[in-house]
Amino acid sequence: MSKLRLKMVLLGALLISVFAWVILTKGPLAPVNVTTEKIQTETLSPEVFGVGIVEARHSYAISPVMTGRISKLLVDQGDQVQAGQVVAELDPIDLVEKLTSSRLVGERAANSVKVAEAQLVQSQSQGRTMAASYKRYSELQAQGFVSRELLDAKLNEKTAAFAAMDAATASLAAAKRDQSRAQSDAAGVARLREQTRLTSPVSGIVTARLVEQGAIIVPGQTILQVIKPDDLWIKTRIDQKQAGMIRAGQKTTVVLRSHPQTSVSGVVERIDLISDAVTEERIVNVAAPMPNASLGEQAEVTIKLPVQKNARAIPAAAVKRINQQDGVWVLQGHQPKFKPVKIGISTLDGRTQILDGIADSDEVIVYSQQAIKEGLKLKVVAEIVRN
């Protein structure tokens, strides 16, 4: 064999070797690089994260109980108000005149009562006089000093006096009823007059002015809204999968959108019983000191859950969901095997509790160069380098 042919053969063998090496180490037949980790026993401090909106826990709507025209609006949005402060007035129309008339009727009824009382006193006096006179004449008639006809006349006078007393009593009762009715009418008109003055139920801040002066409003229509600035909370939406361990009273950390570098401590005040079926979220209301917050402002809420000690945990990235089943890929030899697992809590720093399914000695695949499937040849590396 000539030297040239020998060189060609050697060069061809070298090229074939290089090609085979590339195929086996870098090409489609190369093993997939993966990183693995065994189960660690550790203390997990789970937290739940959610985004919420700053809202007023209680909002007070100021509205009238009668139809009318707004004659005065005394406050505007952002104004401070005190409990009982008049914030708006309706046009009273003729209520002032009706109130004056009702009071005059009441005074006349009071005078009628006085007249009826005087008449009753007079009739009672006459009744006593007639009764005494009839008694005296009865004694005289028994002794034969007066006739029977005169005694009958005295009896008639006595009966008339007692009838007048009954009439005076009835007149007094009627006068008192008229006086009570007049007083009730005057009180009703006075309440109507007071209802034209709308007052704030609490001390707080006006957050909305929904009508303007001169507008015609109907009963129940909101004119102003007032909130208490120290009665705010955050309406937070939490994924239903994470809401199961949340309880009222748990500590939270709140970061307002307007103050991203500052966090404040809060507490879970209330958990709504009804979840959102569309977004699959549950509403959790969190209270925290927010002196500079604005209504509608976004806030990031982190809820601290109970600490789990001696928990068996792996990186959350290792947990996969295949065919509606949570599980992990375990390295057996140089090939993967999928094992279903039962998982517990997860932490925001990427750790997931394993309750059952794998042993402490199993090597769980955490990251890989490509999607894992049965039959792949694997190679364990310290770190996956992304191109």
Q: Quote the pLDDT of residue 11.
A: 63
- Closest to 128 in 3D by CA, of 92, 171, 89, 161: 161
Distances (CA, A) of 125 to 108, 159, 168, 173: 26, 14, 12, 19
pLDDT, position 3 = 64
The three state secondary structure string of 103-137 is HHHHHHHHHHHHHHHHHHHHHHHHHHHHHHHHHHH
Please tell me the predicted confidence (pLDDT) of residue 119. 87
Query: Which residue matches tokens 């180490």?
Result: 25
Q: How confident is the model at residue 21 (pLDDT cuts 50, 70, 90)?
A: very low
pLDDT higher than 60, residue 193: yes
What whole-number distance in Å separates Cα of residue 137 and Cα of residue 282?
98
| Residue 199: C-alpha distances to residues 89, 147, 208, 209, 217 (Å) | 9, 79, 15, 14, 16
- The pLDDT value recorded for residue 6 is 62
Residues 6+ apart with CB under 8 A from 179: 106, 109, 110, 112, 113
Q: How large a percentage of the chain has pLDDT more than 90?
A: 21
* Model confidence pLDDT, tens digit, residues 114-160: 888 888 888 888 888 888 888 888 888 888 777 888 878 878 888 88
pLDDT for the residue 284: 94
Range of weakest confidence among 51-55, 71-75, 274-278: 274-278
Q: Is the dihedral of CA 140, 146, 151, 153 positive or negative?
A: negative
94-103, 226-235, 277-286, 320-329: segment of lowest average pLDDT? 94-103
How much is the average pLDDT of 249-276? 91
More confident residue, 103 or 284: 284
pLDDT of residue 387: 54
* Rounded-to-integer distance, Cα 165 and Cα 73, Å: 58
Q: How many CA atoms lie within 13 A of 346 on its CB side?
A: 14
Q: What is the mean pLDDT of the chain?
A: 84
End-to-end CA distance of the chain: 47
pLDDT at 302 > cutoff 60:
yes
Whole-number Å distance between alpha carbons of 303 and 316? 19
Q: Is the pLDDT of residue 209 over 60?
A: yes
The structure tokens 């046009």 sit at: 91
> Which of 17-31, 36-50, 293-307, 360-374 comes out lowest in average pLDDT?
17-31
- At 381 the pLDDT is 81
